Structure 1
């Protein structure tokens, strides 16, 4: 099954400002979260989830067909 990933404007802006190493780590974290659908919050609700990498984190909401990444962070 194919899932969609949408980035909030805040997440897009944060991702654009990261160095290449940070962008790669955040994108890997998004991909890892996307593949672990059983750990997503309830689809379509107000609930969010966070995932953490070695130096990055994301906050996202889930839908039946994918996720919206709301926030992105990286400790450089």
Structure 2
């Protein structure tokens, strides 16, 4: 199944300001969130979830067909 990933505008801006290493890790963390459907909150609700990478995290909400990343961070 194909899943949709939407990025909030502030996430897009933050990604643009990261070095390549940070951007790569954030995308890997988003990919990890996509494959862990069992950790997703109920779609369309008011709850979000976090997914952690080695030096990063992403906060996301879910839809029936994917996620929306509304915040992220990288400590590199």
Considering the TM-score relative to the shorter chain, is it more than 0.5?
Answer: yes
Asked if residue 47 in structure 1 is aligned to residue 43 in structure 2, the reply is no
Any unmatched runs of 5+ in structure 1? none
Aligned-residue Cα RMSD (Å) equals 0.6
Q: What's the TM-score once normalised by structure 2's chain length?
A: 0.96
Whole-Å separation in 2 of the counterparts to 1:53 and 1:14: 17
Normalising to structure 1: TM-score of the pair?
0.96
Aligned residues: 76
Taking the aligned partners of 2:37 and 2:51, their CA distance within structure 1 comes to 12
Corresponding residue for residue 72 of structure 1? 72
Equivalent-residue separation in structure 2 for 1:71 and 1:26 (angstroms):
11
Deviation string 1:38-57 (CA, Å, 9 cap, x unpaired) is 11011001100011111101
Unaligned runs of 5+ in 2: none
| Deviation >4 Å, runs of 4+ | none
